[in-house]
């Protein structure tokens, strides 16, 4: 069991302990009714560019909602490591692994900020979690340093639309409220730190705004040369 290191972390763990049991159902409405969550997960996994036999970290994996997509991508010869801070979320992930008979997924209970990424990992994914991690820039940097040449870091998460009035932003991001102070989240603007860190640490960055700017998909890769990497555009929107 990981002992919380501060009040914010304590609150986050307590919140996810309460949410774990029904997370798979309630998260379908996350961040808002009508948001194509399954499609965005699929898109994120595709963006990893995984091949059969690859290794991938699912950072802050929660109950393992990405596992079936990752399994399809890496096949039985690949390796998946799910990392999360909350024991109750990992317990659900463990049940999912057992129910599906997956033998190539291991789970690690750890704070993303202190996690030692295994050197040479082929890809790292994080969905709906990085903006909750105050040290998100450091986590991006640690992961980027561990990636194999050409390996990709993919983050799917929530943000505030750039042009939304403050009051509407408060309303629209109510889903974040249980996990952290919404005011603190708005002030901290973690998606900007994630974008800056990915730009600084990876060979290229493709940043796509999703669902009217309330979410984003960020894809960066570690190129074989400083100017290398797989060809990608930037600043797309849909
Ligand atoms: C909204 S859930 C997302 C879970 C999963 N990635 C998904 O897409 O369904 C956020 C998860 O992040 C985890 N989390 C939050 N802060 C973390 C940290 N510092 N280190 C590791 N996990 C963290 C929580 O325990 C929770 O399981």
The CATH architecture that domain 7-228 belongs to is 3-Layer(aba) Sandwich (3.40)
- Report the separation in Å between the CA atom of 84 and the middle of ligand 1, taken as the mean of its atom positions: 6
What rounded mean pLDDT belongs to the chain? Answer: 88
pLDDT of 1 over the 70 cut = no
Averaged pLDDT, 89-101: 98
Contacts of 54 (CB under 8 A, 6+ apart): 73, 74, 78, 79, 122, 123
Residue owning tokens 């307590």: 14
Query: For residues 212 and 53, which has the higher predicted lDDT (pLDDT)?
Result: 53
- Closest C-alpha residue for ligand 1 atom 8: 127
Shortest-distance atom of ligand 1 to CA 58: 6
- Report the separation in Å between the CA atom of 112 and the middle of ligand 1, taken as the mean of its atom positions: 9
pLDDT attached to residue 228: 44
pLDDT of 235 over the 80 cut = no
Q: At what angle do helices 136-146 and 190-201 cross, to 10 degrees?
A: 20
Element (H, E) at 53: none
Name the band, by pLDDT with cuts 50, 70 and 90, for residue 6. Answer: confident
Averaged pLDDT, 150-170: 83
- Report the separation in Å between the CA atom of 129 and the middle of ligand 1, taken as the mean of its atom positions: 5
């Amino acid at each position: 069991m990981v002992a919380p290191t501060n009040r914010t972390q304590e609150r986050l763990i307590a919140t996810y302990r309460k949410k774990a049991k029904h997370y798979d159902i309630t998260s379908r409405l996350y961040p808002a009714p009508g948001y194509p969550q399954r499609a965005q997960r699929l898109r994120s996994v595709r963006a990893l560019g995984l091949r059969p036999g690859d290794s991938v970290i699912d950072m802050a994996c929660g109950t393992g909602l990405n596992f079936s997509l990752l399994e399809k991508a890496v096949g039985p010869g690949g390796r998946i490591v799910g990392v999360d801070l909350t024991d109750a979320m990992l317990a659900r992930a463990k049940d999912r692994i057992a129910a599906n008979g997956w033998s190539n997924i291991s789970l690690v209970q750890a704070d993303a900020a202190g996690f030692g990424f295994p050197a040479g990992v082929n890809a790292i994914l994080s969905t709906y979690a990085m903006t909750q991690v105050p040290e998100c820039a450091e986590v991006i940097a640690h992961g980027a340093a561990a990636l194999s040449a050409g390996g990709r870091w993919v983050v799917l998460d929530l943000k505030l639309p750039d042009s939304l009035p403050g009051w509407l932003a408060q309303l629209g991001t109510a889903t974040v409220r249980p996990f952290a102070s919404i005011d603190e989240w708005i002030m901290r603007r973690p998606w900007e730190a994630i974008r800056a860190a990915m730009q600084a640490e990876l060979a290229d960055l493709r940043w796509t705004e999703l669902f009217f700017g309330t979410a984003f998909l960020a894809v960066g890769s570690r190129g074989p040369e400083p100017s290398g990497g797989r060809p990608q555009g930037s600043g797309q929107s849909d």
